[in-house]
Amino acid sequence: MASLAESAKRSAAAGRRGAPSPAPAVSRAGQRRARAICSAGRLASGRRAPAGAGGTMELKKDSNAVSIDMLLIVHSEKRRVAQGAHSDRPADPGAPPQRRGGLQCVENGIRRWQKLEGNDLRGNLVEKQHAQQTQVITSYDNQGTQLTVEVHPRDAMPQLFKKFSLAKRLQVDKNGNTRPRQPGGKDTHAYPWDRSSLKSMPLDLQQFEKLDTYASQVTVKSGLEELVSDLLQEAHSDLEIVRAIWIWICHHIEYDIEAAQEKDRQAFKPTAILQTQKTNCDGYAGLFERMCRIAGVQCMTVPGYSKGFGYQPGQSFSGEFDHAWNAVFLEGRWHLVDSTWGSGLVDSSTSKFTFLYNEFYFLTHPALFIEDHFPDNKNWQLLKPPQSLRQFENNMYHKSEFYNKGMLSAQPQTSIIKTAFPAIQRTFIRNPLSWVPSSQAQDTAGKETVNGKATVTIESCAPTLFMFMLNGKQEHGLLSLRKNGMKLDVYPPTAGTHKLQIFAKGNSEIYSSVLEYTLKCHCADMDVRLPAELHQPVGPSWFSEQMGITKPSHSEPVIYTSDGRCSVSFGVVEGISVLASLHGDDGPITEETQRRYIFQLHREKRTELKVQLPHAGKFALKIFVKKRQEPGNYLFVFNYLICCTNTKVNWPVFPESFGNWGVDNELLEPLSGVLPANRNVPFKLKLHGVAKALVKGQDTWPLTLSPEGYWEGSCSTAGCREVYVMVLENANHSFYSYILKYQVNAQ
């Protein structure tokens, strides 16, 4: 028998005199949703019709809009009751429509919801009975146009909480049920990510602030339809509807790890999800699709592979699909969402789920979505040309935090980096950290690089703090910050496979993982050994300048010295105190002694650090700062790597300074903290704000103030083990303060 819509077309063609005048053009929202309400026994035109009579209604728009031919059949109350006693039983307005078939398994293992709407009448006419004898008639034609009409009792007041739904671009299966069409060639978009936005359509997230707050606070009262109705109270467009549903799911549904592991089929039924508020990825996707369909927005569930929990860089994908997400049709195009990953994350160490909203997976740009989502149907990539599964496996995986924290690109672009010695040649070059055989080296993905070194660079849109871990430790690498990113040189300590993780810090105090590489090192450089205390970052940067250290004398992170001595200077913002210490892996050096190999001087608003190495090797010169007027500890800012290959180096410590050693004082001689025995040792210092100065050994030796402003004199080291420099700060005082301490070599 012909469908209701087809009958309407024939009736309208037979005679249009009794039909209402063409409707005026409607808004875009009206193209999706309209409403027709008639009292029993009356036509839409307002004229009374006899019981059982038929009438026609025609809604038209311009040539680019949809047109509707509708035949409205109205029966009297008695005839309706006689036709079906089941109509007297009120339906639960909150319960979802009856489903035929329920959950069905796709051949590849992903469970997909089949939306079999209601009990069919002649293949495509659905009737639902509401309280107070309200009829809802839904009709579909063979092009997939859906038309819903409510018929209320003669004297009843219509309830306007439901709206007429006109769903365009739907497909009708052989049973008359509707589903959105699959994307075709015209839905693919040949556009790479242009770095202007992470979204597939222009969005101002601030416009969602009120809606997000509202949607996140909506609670489940009865069933799914009432929940959707509540969410629609603040949603006035398809985009806002999708946003409200997305926010509600992301803030209320918890990932059910046990159900995911056991593949519990019950865990992803909407009724079960609303009761437990827990589900797996299939349930997230099925619930999202069902809620969108109730709201009149086209949505599809997309199964596929994912680089999610437990993923290892470079792994292959086969067998059953392990994930499911959604596609929604907005403003004439398909867009991608993943409410599972938008809701939170699973801790790999505890296997516990934590709610942590992730905006990245809402309407994600397809060029970014493909990095961790590979759909079963290549058309759902929404890319031209689509990627192959092999490309998906080999491509570098940038985690969502990579983009959330403003990262733009990274090199290498594949997840596996090979490091090895190439064929040894007779030509030798100097490695920054050792002498090794050389050849043409390339720091690119999958290529062999010189000296077992791997180099990773990241470009960011703003200054960002980074850190790294190699096999779970912050060792064996040099990380330098740049205004637009960072550079990391990693030297694996042994041959084999290593895990390299890179973290970035955004507005919060938490570092988040943004990249992960697998390093395959065929031959490690044993001559390169970095100090264990070498923290990140290495070298001055925008961050050290932000912390009050400016215009450094050495802009590179590595300092080479042939005699074991060097001097580093930089400007210091007023009110900032600087502390430095030297750290090496060889020799039992205490924390106090570590500072004794550095002597700090201040000259014309610049701080100078004189460094003397105790022996050859590699050392970390760590620099800390704090505000003088504020309590608390010094904060680490950065460090230099100091390298010396001269095995004859054996410098002593500098003299020990006390608290009264002023920040503007200057020591010219003697700089060595260990003095020879039985010698007259000259002293020369610039001291500010003192009345007298002397050197005390076995005897006391006064220092005199020269015209140039230096306190000068000499002291004999005979008969003593320690020598002190002392000052009298006020001429009216009678006691001296210690400011420097020297040791005297034993005879």
Please list the active-site residues: 281, 323, 338
Residues 342 and 250: beta-carbon distance below 8 Å: yes
Contacts (Cβ under 8 Å, ≥6 apart) of 568: 552, 553, 554, 559, 608, 609, 611, 621, 640
Residues 343 and 251: beta-carbon distance below 8 Å: yes
| Cβ burial, residue 306 (10 Å; 0-12/13-18/19+) | buried
Residues 72 and 57: beta-carbon distance below 8 Å: yes
Give the angle 336-339-345 at the CA atoms, nearest 5°: 125
Residue type, 274: L
Structure tokens at 88: 């007297």
Q: How far apart are CA 470 and CA 478, in angstroms?
A: 12
Residue type, 699: D
Residue labelled with tokens 């050392």: 619
Please name which of 592, 550, 587, 553 lies closest in space to residue 571, comparing C-alpha atoms.
Answer: 550
Q: What is the 3-state secondary structure (H, E, C) of 649-673?
A: CCCCCCCEECCCCCCCCEEEECCCC
Residue type, 642: I
Q: How far apart are CA 290 and CA 224, in angstroms?
A: 9
Residue 142 Rama label (left phi>0; alpha psi -120 to 50; beta): alpha
Contacts (Cβ under 8 Å, ≥6 apart) of 87: 80, 81, 129, 133
3-class SS of residue 367: helix
What is the side-by-side order of every strand in the sheet holding 37-39? 37-39, 146-152, 135-140, 125-129, 120-121
Please name which of 99, 165, 157, 163 lies closest in space to residue 131, comparing C-alpha atoms.
Answer: 157
3-class SS of residue 333: strand
Q: For strands 454-460 and 407-411, give the pairing.
A: antiparallel
3-class SS of residue 385: coil
Contacts (Cβ under 8 Å, ≥6 apart) of 697: 715, 716, 717, 718, 719, 720, 722, 723, 724, 744
- Please report the beta strands in 533-665, taking only residues with DSSP state E, as ranges in sequence order: 549-550, 558-560, 565-572, 576-584, 598-603, 606-612, 617-627, 635-644, 656-657
Q: How far apart are CA 302 and CA 304, in angstroms?
A: 7
Residue type, 165: S
Residues 681 and 714: beta-carbon distance below 8 Å: yes
